[in-house]
């Protein structure tokens, strides 16, 4: 193949031009990454020239928009952790059970209908989930308990859990489908019930894929913006109480963008420091997820 | 010998079977909860917003009075920004996918690009907003314009387009390429006349899904600096703009009930757009699968 194309190569100048154009398209993705990293680093370094990194990582007060400024990122991190962990508490059991149902129990016809319907949940814009959280889930929660504020992490977590559920179920199901039939049949032949096959054979065999799905979903929850910006509030509070208003890293970036903060001020530069923290956390989780899939993939031949 | 363990075994077996039934019920409950949430969401949006939908709502500009407000500026803004982002991402993404699948021979550079694309797909969308604000709005001095917005969204959906196009191209059987090469075609002739026509429906499906993702994005454009109140339709690439999700966000954030109704009506329009795009994608995939079976 190469030999036939090889000698003609020099006669075809257009061929090499085309190759160069396509090569540049592919290289653009490298530039995107370089762009993201350098923009965040450059502006964050400017920020850290004015604010010490020890205050940033050591203080638990975040008030850059007030007159007495304090730049401790922990309230934003606890806010982000609160909503993301809450979302995972909703999405993990529901997503895993749905995945087991789809992979082990559902007849083929049911699965072919259910899977795309569940994936509709993943395709709904996040601003719609924000609307749903603030105007329907929160009022219901407030009827159950009067202690819940209008803006709270609980409502945002529940709705965000529903949003990432299809991601958990779809990726876990793919991992379970990849477990060879013979393993299941061996377990059935030993007299195992369906639950025992699912919980003692299929899930352990697919565990690396399932873990990867969980981590990807968690990283998605950490980076999710509109639900928390609408429903969780804009009060950076160092707390683990899900019933009061908090603020996540993403919601803070939105808050600054919506205000008329002049570019170049220290208030404006905070979004790059926060953005860099967000980028590092999600990148770390994505790499971990890819590593898990590669390292612990069980190969059945 | 059989008599003694049998009863103990039977007891245990009943217990195990019961546990299995309970687990099955739990699985069903999980699915039902997920579907019920979807149903509740759609029902609430429809019951709140359906009565507000009218021709005036589609053609009016935003207003301080909820009953006079409409989505014309946001709708046209969305079509401009997302449409041009889609065209950009389609061109660049297809080029990158062809390079990776047909030219690179999986060398070290292609592997780096591949890992890089996988990671870019996991970057939170709000970070792309920061990138767009710094590179397009400030550094390239495009302003908070339609052009800057569509460039930002194009970068955001580029990894999705590349991955989808790669899968479609990979599905083309190697025998097809070999047939082309055997007839003396150049690499590009093989790609243009054989690989692309065969994989085009698959690529198009991926592009449509990526564009529907862009249509629902709010955060990157907010951070990039799209407006939240725009009483005019954008008239060119340098015009300022808003998009439908940002208009919805603006209405949700207001305290008055009337604006919440508007938000619900705007959501219905957005979901109808998304659903029809997805229907086209499903239709294409179906046609493609039928063709592939022949």
State pLDDT tens for residues A157-177.
999 999 999 999 999 999 999
What band does A1 get if pLDDT is binned at 50, 70 and 90? very low
Could you read off the pLDDT of A6-28 as tens digits, one per residue? 555 555 678 888 989 999 999 99
Is the separation of the CB atoms in B31 and A98 below 8 Å? yes
Q: How many CB atoms lie within 10 A of CB B234?
A: 21
| Residue-wise burial string across B70-80, b where 16 or more C-beta atoms lie within 10 A, e elsewhere | bbbbbbbbbbb
**Nearest CA among B9, B119, B81 for reference residue B234:** B81
Alpha carbon distances (Å) from B7 to A190, B1, B16, B122: 19, 12, 14, 55
CA distance B56 to B67: 10
DSSP tag of B103: I
**pLDDT(A234) > 90:** no
Q: Which residues of A touch B94 (CB under 8 A)?
A: 25
- Residue extents of the structural domains in chain A: 2-50, 74-295
- Partner A contacted by B285 (CB < 8 A): no
CA distance B69 to B61: 6
Is the separation of the CB atoms in A266 and A47 below 8 Å? yes
Phi, psi of B185 (to 5 degrees): -75, 150
Specify the CATH superfamily of domain A74-295: MetI-like (1.10.3720.10)
pLDDT score for A56? 86
Q: What is the pLDDT along chain B (294 residues), one digit of tens a residue?
A: 555 556 888 888 888 999 999 999 999 999 999 999 999 999 999 999 888 888 888 888 888 888 888 888 899 999 999 999 999 999 999 999 999 999 987 788 889 999 999 899 999 999 999 999 999 998 998 988 999 999 999 999 999 999 999 999 999 999 999 999 999 988 899 999 999 998 988 899 899 999 999 999 999 999 998 887 778 888 888 888 999 999 999 999 988 888 999 999 999 999 999 999 988 888 887 776 666 554
Pick the range with the lowest mean pLDDT from A58-72, A111-125, B107-121, B231-245.
A58-72
Tell me if A223 and B126 make a contact (CB, 8 A cut-off). yes
Q: At what angle do helices B72-98 and B196-216 cross, to 10 degrees?
A: 140
- Partner B contacted by A4 (CB < 8 A): yes
- Partner B contacted by A119 (CB < 8 A): no
pTM: 0.89
In angstroms, what separates the C-alpha of A112 from chain B's closest C-alpha?
A: 13
- Residue extents of the structural domains in chain B: 58-293
**Nearest CA among A131, A119, A192 for reference residue B16:** A192
pLDDT score for B231? 80
- What is the third-level CATH fold of B58-293? MetI-like fold (1.10.3720)
Is the separation of the CB atoms in B230 and B73 below 8 Å? yes
pLDDT score for A44? 92
- Partner B contacted by A171 (CB < 8 A): no
pLDDT score for A201? 93
Is the separation of the CB atoms in B155 and A31 below 8 Å? no
CA distance B235 to B245: 20
Place of tokens 């889930």: A137
> Could you give the 3-state DSSP secondary structure of residue B230?
coil
What residues 70-89 of chain B have any CB closer than 8 A to a CB of chain A? none
Mean pLDDT of A224-231: 93
pLDDT score for B294? 47
Tell me if B103 and A128 make a contact (CB, 8 A cut-off). no
CA distance B24 to A101: 8
């Amino acid at each position: 193949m190469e030999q036939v194309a090889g000698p003609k190569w020099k006669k075809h100048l257009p061929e090499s031009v085309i190759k160069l154009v396509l090569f540049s398209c592919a290289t653009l993705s490298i530039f995107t990454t370089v762009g993201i990293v350098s923009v965040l680093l450059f502006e964050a370094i400017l920020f850290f020239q004015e604010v010490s990194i020890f205050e940033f990582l050591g203080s638990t007060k975040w008030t850059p928009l007030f007159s007495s400024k304090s730049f401790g990122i922990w309230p934003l991190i606890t806010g982000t952790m609160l909503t993301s962990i809450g979302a995972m508490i909703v999405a993990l059991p529901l997503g895993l059970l749905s995945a087991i149902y789809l992979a082990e129990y559902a007849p083929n016809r049911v699965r072919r209908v259910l899977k795309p319907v569940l994936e509709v949940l993943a395709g709904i814009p996040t601003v719609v989930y924000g609307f749903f959280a603030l105007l329907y889930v929160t009022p219901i929660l407030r009827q159950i308990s009067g202690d819940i504020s209008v803006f709270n992490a609980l409502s945002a977590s529940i709705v965000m859990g529903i949003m990432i559920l299809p991601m958990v179920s779809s990726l876990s199901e793919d991992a379970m489908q990849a477990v060879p039939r013979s393993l299941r049949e061996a377990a059935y032949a030993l007299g195992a019930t369906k639950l025992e096959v699912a919980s003692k054979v299929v899930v352990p065999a697919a565990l690396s894929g399932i873990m990867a799905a969980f981590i990807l979903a968690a990283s998605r929850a950490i980076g999710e913006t509109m639900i928390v910006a609408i429903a969780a509030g804009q009060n950076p509070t160092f707390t683990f109480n899900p019933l009061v208003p908090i603020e996540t890293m993403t919601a803070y970036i939105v808050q600054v963008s919506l205000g008329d903060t002049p570019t170049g001020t220290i208030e404006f530069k905070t979004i790059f420091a926060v953005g860099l923290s967000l980028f590092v956390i999600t990148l770390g989780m994505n790499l971990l997820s890819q590593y898990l899939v590669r390292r612990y993939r069980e190969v059945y031949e | 010998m059989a008599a003694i363990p049998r009863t103990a075994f039977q007891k245990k077996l009943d217990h195990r079977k019961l546990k299995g039934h309970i687990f099955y019920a739990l699985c069903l409950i999980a699915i039902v909860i997920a579907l019920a949430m979807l149903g509740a969401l759609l029902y609430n949006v429809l019951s709140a917003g359906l009565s507000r939908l009218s021709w005036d709502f589609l053609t009016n500009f935003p207003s301080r009075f909820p009953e006079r407000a409409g989505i014309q500026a946001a709708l046209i803004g969305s079509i401009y920004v997302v449409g041009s982002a889609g065209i950009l991402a389609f061109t660049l993404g297809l080029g990158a996918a062809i390079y990776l699948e047909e030219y690179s021979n999986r060398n070290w550079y292609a592997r780096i690009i591949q890992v890089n694309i996988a990671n870019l797909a996991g970057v939170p969308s709000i970070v792309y907003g920061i990138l767009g604000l710094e590179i397009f709005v400030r550094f390239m001095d495009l302003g908070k314009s339609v052009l800057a917005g569509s460039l930002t969204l194009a970068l955001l959906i580029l990894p999705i387009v590349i991955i989808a196009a790669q899968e479609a191209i990979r599905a083309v059987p190697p025998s097809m390429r070999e047939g082309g090469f055997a007839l003396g075609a150049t690499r590009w002739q093989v790609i243009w006349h054989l690989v692309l026509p065969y994989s085009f429906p698959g690529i198009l499906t991926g592009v449509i899904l990526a564009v529907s993702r862009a249509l629902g994005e709010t955060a990157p454009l907010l951070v990039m600096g799209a407006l939240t109140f725009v009483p005019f339709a954008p008239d060119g690439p340098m015009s300022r703009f808003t998009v439908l999700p940002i208009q919805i966000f603006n209405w949700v954030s207001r305290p008055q009930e009337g604006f919440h109704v508007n938000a619900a009506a705007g959501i219905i329009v957005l979901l109808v757009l998304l659903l029809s795009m997805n229907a086209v994608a499903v239709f294409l995939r179906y046609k493609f699968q039928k063709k592939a079976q022949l």
